Every structure is written in structure tokens, then in C-alpha cells.
């Protein structure tokens, strides 16, 4: 019975944001990118439908980003992950999530340039998808790493 009455922080060790406060740059970035990526996924499904879910296709969002149903699902999942992180995690937790997603996207970028993402309908080499993945990875690592918000922090007083 005791486990029913404990908070998520006590049960799992994860601090949940209890009341909305001012948004940090990390949280604003997560909301903005989450919405953009979800819209890309929805536009992709409008373009491709649910056929050829994991096959290499000639469908491209805005004529630039190659896509198939599986790629669209990944877009929507990643967008939801960013939105959940922005609205439920503490600023530090959201910052950590941005770093983790940025690192994962950097790996995805390298594998994309090497041509290992035919499952997502991404061809090898320099193309819109690989450039987008690289831009998202670098932006997530820069913002999550606090490089742009370093001046906002208060000095430690001991």
C-alpha cells in the first residue's frame, strides 16, 4: 500500500516538473522542434499514405526529405518525445534529454551518410535528410550542452 501513495520522484528517482514556470531555452527548443518534427511526420503520411512502410520510395516532403511510412512514424515519435520532455521534465532533465537525442541523431547522421538507412528511405551521401539530421544533432548538442545559455547562469557563491 505504501508504494501507491509515493510520488514519482520517490518511486523512480525521476523529478517531474510540478508547476509551470518560465521556460528555459532547452524547453523552448524542445517545444519548437517537437512541433516541427510532428508536422513533418504528418505531412509525410499525407504524401506516402501507409503503403511501402519500410521500402525505399521516391516520395519526398517539400521535394527535399525522402520519406516512407516508417520514417514518418520516427518523426512523430521523436516529436512527441521532445514535447513530453519539454512539458514534464525539469529543466535539467530536459537538457539531458536534448543531449541524449543530439548524440543519437549524430550517430543517425553518420550512418545516413554511409547509406545504412534504406529502411527509412534515406539514400547515402549528401542529401536533405542527412543534412537535416546533422543540423538537428548539432543544435540539440549545443542547446542541450548549455553553450548558448552559459551567460544566464548565476555564479556559485560558497
Contact of 101 with 78, CB cutoff 8 Å = yes
Q: How far apart are CA 125 and CA 110, in angstroms?
A: 10
Task: Output the pLDDT for position 30.
Answer: 92
pLDDT digits (tens, 9 = 90+) for 95-126: 999 999 999 999 988 988 888 877 777 777 88
**pLDDT value of residue 149:** 66
> What is the pLDDT at residue 116?
83
- Across the range 32-50, mean pLDDT stands at 90
d(CA 70, CA 131): 19
The whole-model pTM stands at: 0.74
Q: Which three cell numbers stand for residue 120?
A: 527509412
Q: So what's the pLDDT on residue 158? A: 46
Residues 52-87 have pLDDT tens digits of 787 777 777 888 888 888 888 988 999 999 999 888
What pLDDT does 19 receive? 58
Structure-model confidence comparison of residues 146 and 108, the more confident one: 108
Mean pLDDT of the chain: 81
| pLDDT of 150 strictly over 60 | no
Distance set, CA 52 to CA 12, 71, 83, 127, 129 (Å):
40, 11, 28, 21, 18
Rounded Cα distance, 35 and 38, in Å: 5
Q: Give the E-state strand segments of the chain in sequence order.
A: 60-61, 65-66
Assess contact for 53 and 74: CB atoms under 8 A. Answer: no
Q: At 154, is the pLDDT very low, low, confident or very high (cuts 50, 70, 90)? A: very low
Amino acid at each position: 500500500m505504501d508504494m501507491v501513495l509515493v510520488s514519482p520522484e520517490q518511486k523512480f528517482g525521476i523529478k517531474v516538473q510540478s508547476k509551470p514556470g518560465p521556460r528555459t531555452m532547452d524547453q523552448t527548443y524542445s517545444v519548437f522542434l517537437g512541433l516541427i518534427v510532428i508536422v513533418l511526420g504528418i505531412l509525410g503520411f499525407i504524401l506516402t499514405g501507409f503503403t511501402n512502410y519500410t521500402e525505399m520510395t521516391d516520395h519526398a516532403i517539400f521535394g527535399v526529405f525522402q520519406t516512407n511510412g516508417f520514417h514518418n512514424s520516427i518523426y512523430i515519435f521523436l516529436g512527441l518525445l521532445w514535447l513530453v520532455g519539454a512539458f514534464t521534465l525539469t529543466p535539467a532533465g530536459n537538457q539531458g534529454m536534448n543531449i541524449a537525442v543530439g548524440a543519437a541523431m549524430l550517430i543517425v547522421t553518420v550512418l545516413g551518410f554511409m547509406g545504412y538507412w534504406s529502411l527509412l528511405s534515406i539514400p547515402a551521401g549528401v542529401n536533405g535528410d542527412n543534412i537535416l539530421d546533422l543540423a538537428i544533432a548539432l543544435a540539440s548538442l549545443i542547446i542541450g550542452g548549455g553553450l548558448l545559455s552559459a551567460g544566464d547562469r548565476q555564479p556559485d557563491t560558497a
